[in-house]
Amino acid sequence: MCGRYTLYTKKEALEARFDAVFEATFDAQYNAAPSLTLPVIRNDNTAAFALTTWGFLPGWVRDFNKMKPQINARAESVKEKPYWRGALSKHRCLIPANGYYEWKKAGDRKQPYFIRLASDEPFAMAGLFDTYTNEAGQPVSGFAIITTQAPAPLANIHHRMPVILQPDDEARWLSPDLTSAEALSLLDVRTDVTAFPVSTRVNAPQNNSPELITPIELTG
């Protein structure tokens, strides 16, 4: 599962890294949480970052009592489940990030960890998006992060992790000619990551500051 992530690289550097422009202002996020509106690069306009809500519903949904927005999609079943199948085929996106948080059980509490590439470079998580019409008749665009099994030693923290695309695969992920089977072939597990414990202040979504990604020493 991936329920929090960060994006704090400066706008100009992100535009250069992903060859896309910001059409609206965006503040650094050290604690991006579900339901926030965040920048993604969608395959319906690869030249711009689109501010999109973290929380996916398929465009055909009508009964909002039975279906709630999902923040993650499992790579192992995304092709088979009707909930995700159309988006895998037609509506893929890149979700830029600097890292993400995961929580490890430690006795009767959970210790948060910050996980990033060993190179400390920004990366793109594989995502799906769609636009549905809410109960007020308004269009809402939402996205979900595709997750996969975490490798050792990350699995000691949590058994799932987001799919971090290889930079050479990012353009392919957005290609309109990519089949669902070809898309699945890009969902590899990255092992060039590092993790370290951070303050439990990250537990509160309203906290959003660089101190959240400062390593701490565990005691006891």
- The band of 62, judged by pLDDT with boundaries at 50, 70 and 90, is confident
> The tokens of 55 are what?
């929380």
Residue 134 is classified by DSSP as -
Q: What is the pLDDT of residue 99?
A: 98
Catalytic member of 93, 102, 121, 182 = 102
User: For 209, which DSSP code?
Assistant: S
Please report whether residue 103 resides in a domain.
Answer: yes
Residue 220 has pLDDT above 80, yes or no: no
Domain count, the chain: 1
Residue 89 belongs to a domain:
yes
Task: Evaluate whether residue 219 is within a structural domain.
Answer: no
Give the model confidence (pLDDT) of 103-117 as tens digits. 999 888 999 999 999
Annotated catalytic, 211? no
pLDDT above 90: residue 65: no
Res. 186: pLDDT tops 80: yes
Domain that residue 172 falls in: 5-213
Q: How far is Cα 17 from Cα 14, in angstroms, rounded to an integer?
A: 5
Is residue 114 classed exposed, middle or buried when 0-12, 13-18 and 19+ CB atoms within 10 A define those classes?
Answer: buried
Catalytic residue at 102? yes
Give the C-alpha separation, 92 to 128, whole Å. 5
Any domain includes 218: no
Closest CA to 215 of 206, 205, 204, 202: 202
Domain of residue 84, CATH code? 3.90.1680.10
Query: What digits encode the pLDDT tens for the residues 136-172?
Result: 889 999 999 999 999 998 999 999 999 999 999 999 9
Whether this model's pTM surpasses 0.95: yes
Pick the catalytic residue from 2, 12, 182, 217: 2
